[in-house]
Every structure is written in structure tokens, then in C-alpha cells.
Amino acid sequence: MAALLVGLGAATAAAGGGLLDGRPPGIEVSPGAPSSASIADVAGFEPFAFEDGDPDDFLERGRDGYAHPLYAFSPGGAAASAARTARFRSRIEDAAERHEIEPETLEALVMLESAGRPEVAAGDDPDSAVGLGQILPGTATGLLGMSVDLEASKRLTRGIARERGRAGRARSSRVRRAALRRAAGFARRRREIDERYDPTEALDGAARYLGIAQPRFGREDLAVASYHMGIGNLKDVIDAYVAPSRPARTTSATVEERDLSYPRLLFDSTPLENRRTHRLLAGFGDDSRSYLFRVEAAREIMELHRDDPEELARLERLHAQWPSGELVLRPPEDSEPFADPGALRDAYEGGDLLPLPDAPQRLGYTLDPGLGRFAAGSEDSDPSLYRGLRPEAVATLLFITKEVRRVAGRADLRVTDAVRDPAAPNGAGEPPRAFSPHATGYAFDIAREYGSPRVGRAFAHVLERLRALRVIDYVYERDEIHIGVGPDAERLLPVQEALVPEPE
């Protein structure tokens, strides 16, 4: 990072114009000339490049980046799903021992796949993935040796739904009990003819899959990733990554020779580097590329359920307060909001807030003409107070712009919302909440309008990558994308320092 700043010394000392325009009235502007460095000067800056990085660190980042859906969408909440899954712990341990895999891995997979519900079906039909391990009928019979009479399973499933519906409509307890008895009988019969619905057999099937995949790839993380992606698909990804070199005789030998982990395959592949690998991974439209991270998030939830239920409850509360993991990155109690316009002015004077530079030709984004006006709330208020961000957030915006331009060849994003104080009106499209990350200066919004589809795709890639690196989290709103910046964004500060030097 130091080399970056030294290399930019001449550029930052050169004359330029307009970077600090928009500073709130009364805030002194440095007599020194603002930077004229351009995005091109920092194009190669990438503090999160995998290179020879620690796969475990990247795995942990991905785990945290993709944890939110497990807290937000687990039936009854993450703690309830963990409790349901924990009921099967002894059977999980038995299946894991039979197939020589880690019981915590199988447990996490079950928590993610079914939230501990033996009868759940992905499409409410036995044709889809069903049971504790969410196993497809073809995989069950073709690879795992499970017994599945699909047509009979469908008939029994319809019968169960019919009888449970009757029980729900029944006016007498006698009719209700009779319908529930019939439904239970159909369910017992279904477990016999479709082993995916039998908890013991389903756990054995999921463990058997991992027991097949792990020696095939030689690593647990790759075996887990293949559970959703498929063994053949993951082999294609590995072959693409080592190309143009020929893979070794076996996939596990290729993995060992190249020291391949799943984090390396994912984080070392972009639209510009290892492009074929990136295209294969991006082509899976079913969250396959993030599956391993979500299993790791489930593993952590199960550990917290056993060892630290209070921390699990705290995380549940934070995830429930916002439609992303943003408040986990920066909990409200650790991110003091700017209380009023006076606090904003003090923050600009102290350097805790920076005015957003408005230099679209060089920085690749524009400030929406209405930015700050809506937050100001009245003609007497000063809109320029609401056209700034924390230095880490400015650095993140500049890094995003840099990366979008590097991938797409251009970047024309439009910033629609930045810092606010709690008394400022909510921006259009944002749900009203007691606490807004905008009031901390660590959040900003980007319009969902792009100069070209290529820019839009590049922007989506950059956002997903930064989420997987635990740098940001974000929410798609109707017209905007809301982006919250976490503590790890400090590693992006050299971009902000190079392009937007602080006043002397």
C-alpha cells in the first residue's frame, strides 16, 4: 500500500480541479491543489487478491458474507432451525462415521439444506430435492443406491396433503384426528418406498455422497462444494482453472499438485483473470458458487447453538433489523450516528466525513442532482451536508468504480444517497426503520440505471465479490442498490487517500 502512495506522489501533487467542490459552507478548503490522479493510476490496486493467500481466511470471509440468508430465511429463525437439526445429532454422527466424514460438516449441510425438516421438498413434489439432505431422485437411485418409487411417492404425497387439508377444515375433533391418522399412515408408507423421506436413510445418503466426493477431489471443501454443483461440474471448473496445462491423471492429483482449494478457484477467477473458470462458476444460476460459504455459515450457527446461544440470539436480532448483513458488519451500538446537522458539520471539520468528489470524467460516477436535497428536508437546510461519507465509504465507492471500469471498460454509476442525520427524511424506496446506516456515514445508494448492460454486469460482479470478501453487504431496492460498508473497507483507504487527499 505504501508503494502505491509513493508511486502516486507526482500525481497527487499535480494541479487539478473540483475534487473538493461541494464542501459544506464554512468548512475550510486546503490551500493546496486537489489531486489530479485518475482511476488508471490505481487500476492494479487489489488488497484482497488471492495470490498466495490463506484459503481459511477467504473461507471465513465468504462464510460471514453469505450468512444473512440463513438468518433471514431459516424457517422459524436460525436458532429454531439449529434446534431441529440438533435432534438428529446421534444419527448424523453414525452416518458420518460410516462414510468417514466429519459429523460437523454433515450437520451443517443438513441445517442449510432442510433446516432439520425430514419431509421438506424444494418444489413441494417428490420430483424435486426432498428430505433432510435435499436429494434429487436421480442422484438417490443413480449414485447413492437409495430406494425411490417416484410414482408411488407422488401418490402418497398427494394423499398426505389431502388428509392434512381435511384435518385443517374439520369442525369436529374426531374427524380431525381421523384425517391426521390417515396422513401419518401415508407418511410412514412414503418413508418406506422413498428413502429420501426417511431421516436415517437420508442422512446416510448425504454422508455417502460426501464420502464419494472427498477422495475424488482430495479435499473436504471441494467435496462440499460439489454437493450442490455436482461432481462433474466441479471437475470441469478445476480443469478450466489449470488450463492450458493438462490436468493430472486424477482430479485429486490435480488438486494436490496445484494446491487447489475452493476459495482459490473462486477468488482467483474474475472476468479478466482465469476467465473461463469465472464463466463456468458464474454460469451456475442456482447459488452453487456460494454453496460452500453457506454451509460454513450453517456450521457456525450450529456451533453457536451448542456453545453460545446468547451470541446466536444477538446475531439473529441484527440480521432481522435490516434486509442484509449490514448491521452485523457494523452493529448500531458500535456505529454512532450523526445526531443532527451540527454533528455533520463537526465531522467534516474533523475529517470523519469527506465530501463526495464530483469528477465524473475521472472517477467514473456522478452525483445525482437531488443528492442531499431530499435529506435536507427544507429550503433552509444545507443539501451539501448530505453529500459526504466516511473515508472508508468513499474509498469503497472509488474502489467499486475502479473495478467496474477495469472489467467493463467504463463506469457511469450514479450516487443517489449518502450520509444523513436521524431527523432527515428517508430516501425513496428505503423502508422506514428506527436506525438507518445512512446516519453513520458508512452507507450509500447507487441508481439501478447503467450506461450499458456490460456496466451493469460488471457492477453486479464487483458487489458480489466484495460481499464474499466481507467488505460490504447490499440490498437491491426498486430503483437503487443500498450498500453498507464494513470495517474491512479500511484496506481500501489507499484508493481514497491517493485520489482524494485530506485538506492540509
**pLDDT for res 20:** 30
Q: Which residues pair with 194 in a beta bridge?
A: 148
pLDDT > 70? residue 361: no
E strand segments, 337-412: 354-355, 365-367, 388-389
Mean pLDDT of the residues in the chain: 89
DSSP state of 48: T
- Model confidence band, residue 53 (pLDDT cutoffs 50, 70, 90): confident
pLDDT > 70? residue 28: no
User: Could you give the CA distance from residue 350 to residue 5 in angstroms, rounded to a whole number?
Assistant: 22
pLDDT > 60? residue 27: no
Report the half-sphere exposure of 79 (CA within 13 A, side-chain side). 13
- Model confidence band, residue 14 (pLDDT cutoffs 50, 70, 90): very low
- Model confidence band, residue 17 (pLDDT cutoffs 50, 70, 90): very low
Q: Domain residues for 347? A: 2-47+326-499
pLDDT > 60? residue 429: no
User: Could you give the CA distance from residue 231 to residue 333 in angstroms, rounded to a whole number?
Assistant: 44
- Model confidence band, residue 247 (pLDDT cutoffs 50, 70, 90): very high
Assigned domain for 43 exists: yes
pLDDT > 80? residue 362: no
**pLDDT for res 425:** 63
Assigned domain for 410 exists: yes
pLDDT > 60? residue 232: yes
User: Could you give the CA distance from residue 459 to residue 329 in angstroms, rounded to a whole number?
Assistant: 21
Per-residue pLDDT, averaged over 287-310, amounts to: 97
**pLDDT for res 477:** 93
Other CB atoms closer than 10 Å to residue 427's CB: what's the count?
Answer: 22
Per-residue pLDDT, averaged over 447-459, amounts to: 95
**pLDDT for res 503:** 53
- Model confidence band, residue 3 (pLDDT cutoffs 50, 70, 90): very low
Q: Are strands 443-447 and 480-485 parallel, antiparallel or unpaired?
A: antiparallel
Cβ-based neighbours of 453, under 8 Å, separated by 6 or more: none
pLDDT > 90? residue 372: no
Assigned domain for 247 exists: no
User: Could you give the CA distance from residue 211 to residue 223 in angstroms, rounded to a whole number?
Assistant: 8
Q: Is the peptide bond before 244 cis (omega within 30 degrees of 0)?
A: yes
What is the tally of helices (H) and strands (E) in the chain?
Answer: 25, 7
Per-residue pLDDT, averaged over 61-84, amounts to: 97
Task: Classify the phi-psi angles of 46: left when phi > 0, otherwise alpha if psi is within -120 to 50, otherwise beta.
Answer: beta
Pair 421, 339: CB distance under 8 Å: yes
User: Could you give the CA distance from residue 485 to residue 503 in angstroms, rounded to a whole number?
Assistant: 23
pLDDT > 80? residue 23: no
**pLDDT for res 376:** 66
Task: Give tens-digit pLDDT for 150-196.
Answer: 999 999 999 999 999 999 999 999 999 999 999 999 999 999 999 99
Instruction: Indicate the number of domains in the chain.
Output: 1
pLDDT > 90? residue 351: yes
- Model confidence band, residue 15 (pLDDT cutoffs 50, 70, 90): very low
Task: Give tens-digit pLDDT for 194-222.
Answer: 999 999 999 999 999 999 999 999 999 99
**pLDDT for res 32:** 30
Written as nine digits, the cell of 500 is 482524494
User: Could you give the CA distance from residue 463 to residue 457 in angstroms, rounded to a whole number?
Assistant: 10
Pair 447, 383: CB distance under 8 Å: no
Nearest to 55 by CA among 279, 266, 270: 266
Task: Give tens-digit pLDDT for 377-417.
Answer: 655 568 889 999 999 999 999 999 999 999 999 998 999 99
DSSP state of 39: G
Listed range (410-419, 434-443, 444-453) with the worst mean pLDDT: 434-443
User: Could you give the CA distance from residue 86 to residue 495 in angstroms, rounded to a whole number?
Assistant: 46
- Model confidence band, residue 421 (pLDDT cutoffs 50, 70, 90): confident
Assigned domain for 89 exists: no
- Global pTM reads 0.89
User: Could you give the CA distance from residue 478 to residue 462 in angstroms, rounded to a whole number?
Assistant: 20
The proportion of the chain whose per-residue pLDDT surpasses 90, expressed as a percent, equals 77
DSSP state of 483: E
Assigned domain for 277 exists: no
